[in-house]
Amino acid sequence: MNHGTSHRLLSLRTAWFNVPSAGKPLFPLLIIVAMEANGDGLQVLPFFEAHSKEMLDFTRWLVEQESMSREAEATRRIAENLGEKLALIGATVDLINDRRYGSTLLARFDCFGGTPHSENKQLLVVGHLDTVWPIGTLAARPFKIEDDRAFGPGIFDMKAGVMLATFAMRAIKELGRSTRRAVTLLMTCDEETGSVSSRGVIDDEARQAHAALVLEPPIPGGTVKTARKGVGEFELIIHGRPAHAGNDLRAGVSAITELAHQVLAINKLNDFERGSTVNVGVARGGVLSNVVAAEARAFIDMRFRNVEDGQRITEAMLNLRPVIDGARIEVRGGINRPPLVRTSETGELFEHARRLASEIGFDLKEGSVGGGSDGNFIAAHGVPVLDGLGVDGAGAHAEHEHIIISDIPRRAALLTRLIETI
Ligand SMILES: [Zn+2]
């Protein structure tokens, strides 16, 4: 692992406002600072209302740096660029480079002059810089604004969330506020492909964390996530025996027929009541219609609410046995992300967030989802995780992906209040 910190400091001269059509710093801020030292959410909200144009420009700046997962050069570049901005507001920035996946960013902030909590644990704020969109998507679907919505590849999942965290830290600094703990921003480069390269960093940071705030998009409507299912992946490989379909069909063992049996057996593992599911999402096999298929493969996705269910299905998958004489089965894979289980601490964290949201002037709801995030890995360390703190919108991984522009200031205010009160 390579900690690339050196060129960061050289670029401190880069103006923070050096993004396209960014607004100017606003002097009324001073009045806000004078009015309150440690007030409630209503008093950070004006900062974000005054900066909403700049926040949207910053989101656009992030969206226009395409960064598909596994495009190492692209994720390295966006991590460097964001790292420069974070250094300008006082972060110590480390880039952890991986040849295949790019760069994961760690930005550490002290308490901004506040007295650190006696328990020496940090607050983790977690996001990812990668997207599911291939380089070139931006040319086909450029950033655009329509009424109260902003569109662009990766904007909802989760470049708007990355923007929120950046501006939250900036607000704390510029408004002379403080935090109760050291705050670490962790931005991974490969969340969309299972966080293979960043997993070690996530685990290391989670061990030192009191709580984690995850910047993934909320459930459309702005609902934060207090539970996520665990995720597993399997590959099923079936070996049969080839034969001429016309001359000698019975001499063959069809891997495809065996696969059909296995798919039905796998489907029987679904337990919708318990929320544990499997999906044979990809199946392929054979070479020509006149040849008995010698090989077939399938890829299976597994979701589960608790570890025991995940283990039970994994065992069943690994114990699949062939139905047809002469066929052979190999199963690879297992649990990738453990479930994010809603604990009583998670419940307290959500209640705290709900109170802060109502001070700011909106109603916050919680929900659970089937998709995993880096929050799952963190929760597995017993750390309470509040997920889905990004900007409201819809269309993650879909072409209509967008955020709701008017949601930005209050969401930023909520994140800021969480960061300074946990
Ligand atoms: Zn995401």
Share of the chain above pLDDT 70, in %: 90
What pLDDT, on the 0 to 100 scale, is given for residue 18? 40
Beta strands in 129-182 (DSSP E): 144-146, 149-151
155 C-alpha vs ligand 1 centroid, how far in Å?
Answer: 10
Q: Which pLDDT score is estimated for 384?
A: 96
In this prediction, residue 114 has a pLDDT band, given cuts at 50, 70 and 90, of confident
- 240 CA to centre of ligand 1 in angstroms: 40
The reported pLDDT for the residue numbered 116 is 75
243 C-alpha to center of ligand 1: Å? 47
The helix or strand, by DSSP H or E, that contains position 420, with its residue range, turns out to be helix 408-421
Domain positions in the chain are: 6-228+340-421, 230-337
- The answer to whether 201 and 187 have CB atoms below 8 angstroms apart is no
Tell me which fold the domain 230-337 belongs to: Alpha-Beta Plaits (3.30.70)
Q: Which CATH architecture has domain 6-228+340-421?
A: 3-Layer(aba) Sandwich (3.40)
Distance between Cα 156 and ligand 1 center (Å):
8
Q: Say how many Å lie between the CA of residue 265 and the centre of ligand 1.
A: 32
Measured distance CA(8)–CA(23) in Å, rounded: 24
pLDDT band at 4 (very low <50, low <70, confident <90, very high): very low
Determine the distance separating the centroid of ligand 1 and the alpha carbon of 128, expressed in angstroms.
Answer: 7
- The yes-or-no verdict on residue 30 having pLDDT over 50 is no
State residue 40's pLDDT score: 58
Q: What is the mean pLDDT of residues 18-23?
A: 38
Mean of the pLDDT values across residues 78-95?
A: 97
Q: Is pLDDT larger for residue 107 or for residue 194?
A: 107
Tokens of 276: 């544990």
What does the mean pLDDT of the chain come to? 90
Task: Inform me whether the pLDDT recorded for 20 exceeds 80.
Answer: no
Ligand 1 mean position, distance from CA 105 (Å):
16
46 Cα distance to chain centroid: 28
Q: Which residues pair with 300 in a beta bridge?
A: 234, 280
| C-alpha 99 to ligand 1 mean position (Å) | 22
Centre of ligand 1 to C-alpha 157, Å, is 5
Burial class for 116, CB neighbours closer than 10 Å (0-12, 13-18, 19+): middle
The predicted-structure confidence for 245-257, as pLDDT tens digits, reads as follows 999 999 999 999 9
Distance, CA 309 to ligand 1 centroid (Å)? 24
Checking if the pLDDT of 36 tops 50, the result is no
> If you write DSSP's letter for every residue of 313-381 in order, what string do you get?
HHHHHHT---SSTT-EEEEEEEEEE--B---HHHHHHHHHHHHHHHHHT----EEEES---HHHHHHTT
385 CA → ligand 1 middle, Å: 15
**261 and 324 Cβ atoms separated by less than 8 Å:** yes
Percent of the chain exceeding pLDDT 90 equals: 87
**pLDDT tens-digit series, residues 190-225:** 999 999 999 999 999 999 999 999 999 999 999 999
Average pLDDT over every residue of 46-61: 97
How far does residue 161's CA lie from ligand 1's centre (Å)?
9
Confidence of residue 260 (pLDDT cuts 50, 70, 90): very high
Ligand 1 center to residue 373 CA distance, Å?
7
pLDDT by residue (tens digit) across 310-358? 999 999 999 999 999 999 999 999 999 999 999 999 999 999 999 999 9
Predicted confidence at residue 335, as pLDDT, reads: 94
Give distance in angstroms: CA of 125 to centre of ligand 1: 14
Is residue 78 within 8 Å of residue 67, measured between CB atoms?
yes
- pLDDT 10s digits, 362-377: 999 999 999 899 999 9
- Please tell me the predicted confidence (pLDDT) of residue 118: 73
Helix axes 344-360, 408-421, angle to 10 degrees: 130
Task: For residue 246, report the distance from its CA to the centre of ligand 1, in Å.
Answer: 51
pTM of the model: 0.84
216 CA → ligand 1 middle, Å: 5
pLDDT, tens digit, 9 for 90 and up, residues 128-157: 999 999 999 999 999 999 999 999 999 999
Higher-pLDDT residue of 119, 138: 138
Give the distance (Å) from ligand 1 centre to CA of residue 394.
12
Cα–Cα distances in angstroms (integers) from residue 334 to residues 264, 266, 406, in the given order? 19, 14, 42
- Cα(398) to centroid of ligand 1, in Å? 12
Mean pLDDT of 70-98: 97
